[in-house]
């Protein structure tokens, strides 16, 4: 019987060394040469690689199989262009990290085993669906009155996302069966199964097909075909990338455990003990820094939580305790709270709701560990304004004059109504708002940002129509959208990132925009702009430490007009319906100082998240820590090492980055320096140089935005592309400031030149 053998040779003859270099991220191009013309090393036409060493998108690998080759080093190989030997994760410029590649591990799966695993995967999916039915029948679902219901609403999957997870579910269960049958260790599972191809088996149907791409002046709404060679890179509803190898307890999907195999400390206990009670202001930065950061985050990353195929929200806790064994859903991962919890114990709460994240088909047609899904496009492309699908955009468009839908409130354009998500009990006409990202109503200041950018699109569409009266609706819409995305990129790289990772660091890594003149020539089709799991699940959640206790509205004379606890504005953005509320909230963002970056957080996030009128809410920091374990995020010490810091062997090895008081708490909670969760370790680092964040988070954030610049064919300063701006257009775009966006779209009186800096830093 022909076997599907997958291995990495432990020993290679000298003449073959280097030819079989592994690639970490998918993407593979068929060789543009005739059969038999591949040579081993001279690089004239390409390199001959073993079939089992291919790691690429389904369509690319299938195409490559049509170009077989043979050399002294390889029999039954395929010819690959030299460019494919480079990983999308291989640094080609400053600021990029070398992603961790699996060590050489051999796992062999024959055809019979593969088909048996496929049947097991399908039956596992049926069992899970039956479990869904039982939970609904027994009413083990989240009630709309619970804080967890709003949390789930914030992280709701699309129907297509759940459908794609269904395919990933079958392949993951098949991987699990192979691991069990062959008694694979966690390392063998994570490093060996990733080289087992699903091609030529019934599991081939679970793979994502790469689209056929053609060049266009405009971005696709779902991000596909930004990269013409690797059409799925950076697109919506695809898997997050990884910097380090997945750190699951079993190598495949079980949440991370301690190095000795024991349970990690409760995420709630870590939050209780490590987080200090004092939360200080940062007089240098305005609250708009935090708000733009959240808006930007919602442009590039959204990993939803699992629910039933019918959209029912699974419950993991009942009457304050974890659902008992035999009834609890297999995707539950609740946070257990101690009986002496000073906040939750008086309410009888011992369990905080959490369901695991939606996962995606792996980025290439291979077995391997669970990979979480990014439901939106990875590019800084204003997808939070327009949506990440044609369907979402259609619902937002006016289909006249290139405009987005709006409605008048007190004579000003506001976002369209969304009464389905929420509406005020006393004033039913006061509804939630609809935008390109479903999280728009999370809190009222976020609605302000969305409204501002909707207005900017419509302002541009009207201006374009005045200059080009013959342009139709589609042309006006796409041209305005193209400019809005460029403005978002310019503000991100010129105003936001210099504060977060430091201007000097940006100059060193060549990330600082704009150029004084001319175009950049940075685009590299072998660099994926896809979001990394470590970035979305830990590093970019650094903004949570900047969040204040209250949402503040200010008068035009600089006095506080209204102060509202944060939890009272979550999914209740009805304050905006007051006359002059929009400008008052905007002034609050501009004039109030941001909070400091440290491991202190607002009390609103430590037990009041989504509380509304109830007695208690959720703990965001505990949720962040638990989510990292769910995603198999490597521990803090591993990411430190990847980022070039000293790998700790004792607690004192962290002392250069983390204060002694926090380290003593870590030592009390964690058994080993290798157990500390990335999120809590990263937010506990001292800021470095002129950056807002510490060295590990700066490294991860730099890497991500370097990829989003070099891996985006439509990046606004890039020349020589179909969608490139002219030099005159680029000169105008380089004048963009967030303060200019505000002034152009709201009569606010005055705005400081850099809207993210405090206008009065001595406050």
Report the catalytic residues: 298
Report yes or no: 78 and 61 within 8 Å, Cβ to Cβ.
Answer: no
Distances (CA, A) of 583 to 454, 574, 695, 750: 15, 15, 37, 11
For the beta carbon of residue 32, count every other beta carbon within 10 angstroms. 10
Tell me which residue of 434, 539, 83, 145 sits closest to 315, measured CA to CA. Answer: 145
The alpha carbon of residue 50 and the mean position of all alpha carbons in its chain are separated, in whole angstroms, by 33
The alpha carbon of residue 612 and the mean position of all alpha carbons in its chain are separated, in whole angstroms, by 27
How far apart are alpha carbons 700 and 91 in whole angstroms?
A: 13
CA gyration radius, the chain:
26
Residue 87 per-residue DSSP state: -
Torsion of CA 551, 745, 386, 440, to 10 degrees: 10
Task: Please classify residue 704 by burial: count the beta carbons closer than 10 Å to its beta carbon, then call 0-12 exposed, 13-18 middle and 19+ buried.
Answer: buried
Tell me the residue ranges of DSSP E strands in 384-510: 407-409, 412-414, 417-423, 431-433
How far apart are alpha carbons 658 and 656 in whole angstroms?
A: 6
For the beta carbon of residue 591, count every other beta carbon within 10 angstroms. 20
Report yes or no: 231 and 213 within 8 Å, Cβ to Cβ.
Answer: yes
How far apart are alpha carbons 408 and 43 in whole angstroms?
A: 63
Ordered DSSP codes for 229-276? SSTTTT-TTEEPB-SS----TTSSSSPP--TTSSPPPPHHHHHHHHS-
Kindly give the pairing relationship between strand 560-565 and strand 550-554. Answer: antiparallel
Tell me which residue of 473, 474, 480, 479 sits closest to 401, measured CA to CA. Answer: 473
Distances (CA, A) of 333 to 97, 163, 265, 267, 448: 31, 21, 14, 11, 34
Kindly give the pairing relationship between strand 431-433 and strand 77-80. Answer: unpaired
> Within a 13 Å sphere around the CA of 517, how many CA atoms are in the beta-carbon half?
0
The two most distant CA atoms of the chain are separated, in Å, by 82
How far apart are alpha carbons 613 and 617 in whole angstroms?
A: 10
């Amino acid at each position: 019987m022909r076997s599907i053998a997958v291995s990495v040779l432990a020993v290679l003859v000298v003449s073959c060394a280097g030819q079989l270099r592994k690639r970490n991220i998918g993407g593979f191009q068929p060789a543009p040469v005739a059969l038999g013309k591949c040579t081993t090393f001279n690089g004239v036409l390409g390199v001959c690689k073993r079939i089992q060493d291919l790691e690429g998108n389904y369509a690319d690998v299938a195409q490559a199989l049509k170009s077989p080759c043979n050399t002294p080093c390889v029999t039954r190989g395929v010819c690959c262009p030299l460019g494919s030997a480079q990983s999308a994760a291989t640094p080609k410029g400053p600021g990029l990290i070398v992603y961790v590649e699996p060590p050489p591990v051999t796992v062999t799966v024959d055809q019979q085993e593969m088909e048996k695993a496929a049947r097991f995967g399908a039956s596992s999916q049926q069992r899970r669906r039956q479990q869904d039915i039982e939970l609904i029948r027994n009413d083990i679902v989240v009630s709309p009155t619970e804080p967890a219901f709003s949390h789930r609403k914030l992280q709701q999957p699309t129907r297509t996302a759940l459908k794609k997870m269904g395919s990933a579910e079958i392949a993951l269960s098949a991987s699990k069966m192979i691991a069990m049958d062959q008694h694979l260790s966690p390392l063998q599972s994570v490093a060996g199964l990733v080289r087992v191809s699903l091609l030529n088996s019934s599991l081939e149907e679970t793979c994502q097909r790469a689209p056929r791409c053609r060049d266009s002046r405009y971005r696709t709404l779902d991000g596909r075909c930004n990269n013409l060679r690797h059409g799925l890179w950076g697109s919506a509803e695809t898997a997050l990338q990884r910097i380090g190898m997945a750190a699951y307890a079993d190598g495949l999907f079980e949440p991370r455990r301690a190095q000795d195999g024991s349970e990690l400390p409760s995420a709630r206990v870590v939050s209780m003990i490590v987080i200090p009670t004092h939360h200080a202001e940062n007089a240098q930065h305005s609250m708009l820094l935090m708000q733009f950061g959240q808006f930007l985050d919602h442009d590039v990353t959204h990993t939803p939580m699992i629910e039933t195929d019918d959209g029912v929200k699974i419950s993991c806790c009942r009457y304050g305790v974890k659902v008992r064994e035999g009834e609890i859903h297999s995707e539950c991962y609740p946070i257990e709270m101690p009986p002496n919890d000073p906040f939750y114990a008086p309410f009888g709460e011992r369990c905080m709701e959490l369901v695991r994240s939606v996962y995606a088909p792996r980025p290439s047609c291979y077995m391997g560990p669970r990979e979480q899904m990014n439901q939106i496009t990875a590019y800084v492309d204003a997808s939070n304004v327009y949506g990440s699908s044609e369907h979402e955009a259609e619902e937002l468009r006016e289909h006249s004059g290139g405009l987005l839908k709006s409605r008048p409130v007190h004579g000003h354009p506001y976002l369209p109504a969304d009464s389905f998500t929420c509406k005020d009990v006393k004033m039913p006409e006061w509804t939630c708002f609809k935008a390109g990202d479903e999280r728009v109503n999370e809190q009222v200041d976020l609605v302000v940002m969305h409204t501002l950018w909707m207005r900017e699109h419509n302002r541009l569409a009207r201006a374009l129509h005045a200059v080009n009266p013959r342009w139709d609706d589609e042309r006006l819409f796409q041209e305005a959208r193209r400019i809005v995305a460029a403005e978002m990129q310019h503000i991100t790289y010129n105003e936001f990132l210099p504060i977060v990772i430091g201007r000097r660091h940006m100059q060193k890594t060549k990330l600082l925009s704009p150029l004084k003149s001319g175009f950049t020539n940075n685009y590299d089709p072998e660099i994926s702009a896809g979001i990394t799991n470590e970035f979305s699940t830990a590093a970019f959640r650094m903004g949570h430490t900047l969040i204040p206790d209250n949402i503040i509205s200010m008068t035009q004379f600089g006095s506080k007009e209204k102060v509202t606890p944060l939890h009272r504005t979550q999914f209740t953005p009805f304050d905006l319906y007051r006359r002059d509320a929009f400008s008052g909230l905007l002034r609050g963002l501009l004039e109030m100082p941001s909070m400091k970056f440290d491991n202190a957080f607002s009390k609103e996030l430590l037990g009041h998240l989504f509380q509304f009128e109830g007695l208690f809410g959720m703990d965001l920091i505990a949720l962040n820590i638990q989510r990292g374990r769910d995603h198999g995020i490597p521990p803090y010490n591993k990411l430190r090492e990847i980022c070039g810091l000293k790998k700790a062997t004792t607690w004192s090895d962290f002392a250069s980055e983390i204060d002694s008081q926090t380290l003593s708490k870590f030592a009390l909670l964690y058994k080993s320096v290798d157990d500390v969760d990335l999120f809590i370790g990263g937010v506990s680092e001292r800021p470095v140089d002129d950056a807002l964040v510490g060295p590990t988070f700066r490294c991860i954030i730099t890497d991500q935005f370097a990829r989003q610049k070099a891996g985006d064919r439509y990046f606004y300063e890039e020349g020589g592309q179909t969608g490139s701006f002219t030099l005159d257009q680029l000169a105008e775009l380089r004048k963009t400031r967030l303060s200019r966006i505000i002034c152009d779209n709201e009569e606010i009186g005055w705005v400081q030149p850099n809207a993210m800096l405090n206008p009065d830093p001595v406050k």
